[in-house]
Structure 1
Amino acid sequence: MITHLDDSNNPNMVDVGEKQPTKRRAVARSVVYLPPEVLELLEGDEIQSKKGPVFQTAIIAGIMAAKKTGELIPLCHPLGMDNCHITINFNEQKEVVIECEASITAKTGIEMEALTGASIAALTIYDMCKAMSHNIVIKETMLIEKTGGKHDFKRT
């Protein structure tokens, strides 16, 4: 069943008015490939670009975007998140791994906020590093886990 269509197949915001608020949490991940010429600029846990610190800026952009998800995605409910936390690390392949965790006590889920936060953090890394190389690839964005609501989910 597609929940964002009414009986006439027109777009429709889901009515959550009768639902009870529950504690909800979601974690999303984006993975970004940076070419060697960008990775060469890595100093400790940060890349400095002409625009400033790349990862710190991406974290702020991701949090700001997560807070605006209801304005960006037409049928998402506007939510006042309880928390949003973004981490940026490297995996074994030296790819950038962004994880966005969002939580709220509400009548509807928070996974779109987590996905938006991770996505915009990845786009911010691209924007801040594109002067060094356009060979940057945002490889994937996915929901890792969600709790609360009707169904929990955990990617295995």
Structure 2
Amino acid sequence: MSEFTHFDNAGNAIMVDVSEKKVTDRTAAAAGIIKTKPEVILAVVQQSAAKGDVLGVAQVAGIMAVKQTAAIIPMCHVLLIRKCTIDFDINEEDSEIRAVCSVKTDGKTGVEMEALTGVSVALLTIYDMCKAMDKSMVMTDIHLLEKTGGKSGDYISVDGQ
């Protein structure tokens, strides 16, 4: 069998069969940053952006995205999400917002894609709500921070950030 588990021996795309896997507690956390102008950071902090509470809406959008990951990422399994949080850290000095998405379930497959999708959509929502003030925003450093559970065991990113 190929090490690429989403393809069969003929090269056709397949969904991985998890029916024989054990149900285990699984968690994942992912992070990312959006860099912008100081005036955008000020509007976010003061909740004075024209479209409203930027981080509140981004938080809801990220959670909704976690719950819909299987609908937008081919070959992802539908998972019953037990818990999801989206947290933000505003760095006014560097004019950036760091988002962290943490996801928890118990199942036969992990929630890394859900955490990565949640943080990505949260950042995209910040962009959408603030693009009138700054179309040059940059989303960067989206990565898996950690994951627990499953056959492959635990993972913590090298940089730990």
Normalised by the size of structure 2, how large is the TM-score? 0.91
> Any residues of structure 2 matched to 1:23-42 within 5 Å, and which?
23-42=25-44
Identify the residue that residue 96 of structure 2 maps to in structure 1: 95
> Any residues of structure 2 matched to 1:1-156 within 5 Å, and which?
1-43=3-45, 47-91=47-91, 93-151=94-152, 152-156=154-158
Name whichever of 132-141 and 21-30 sits farther off.
132-141
| Mapped partners of 2:157, 2:123: distance in 1 | 20
**What is the root-mean-square deviation of aligned Cα atoms in Å?**
1.3
Shift of residue 75, structure 1, vs aligned partner = 0.5
Matched residue type, 2:47: I
CA contact (8 A) 2:86 2:119 kept: yes
Name whichever of 112-121 and 132-141 sits farther off.
132-141
Q: How many residues are aligned here?
A: 154
Shift of residue 141, structure 1, vs aligned partner = 0.7
**Runs (4+) off by over 6 Å:** none
Structure 1's unaligned 5+ residue stretches are none
Matched residue type, 1:124: T
| Mapped partners of 2:44, 2:121: distance in 1 | 21
Q: Secondary structure at the match of 1:26?
A: strand
Shift of residue 99, structure 1, vs aligned partner = 0.2
| Mapped partners of 1:69, 1:56: distance in 2 | 20
Normalised by the size of structure 1, how large is the TM-score? 0.94
| Mapped partners of 2:27, 2:42: distance in 1 | 36
Change (3 A) 1:47 1:138: farther
Matched residue type, 2:8: D
| Mapped partners of 2:75, 2:44: distance in 1 | 39
Shift of residue 24, structure 1, vs aligned partner = 0.3
Shift of residue 90, structure 1, vs aligned partner = 2.2
Matched residue type, 1:54: V
User: Deviations for 1:105-141, whole angstroms, at most 9, x for unmatched residues?
Assistant: 0000100000000000000000000011112110121
| Mapped partners of 2:39, 2:65: distance in 1 | 28
Shift of residue 53, structure 1, vs aligned partner = 0.3
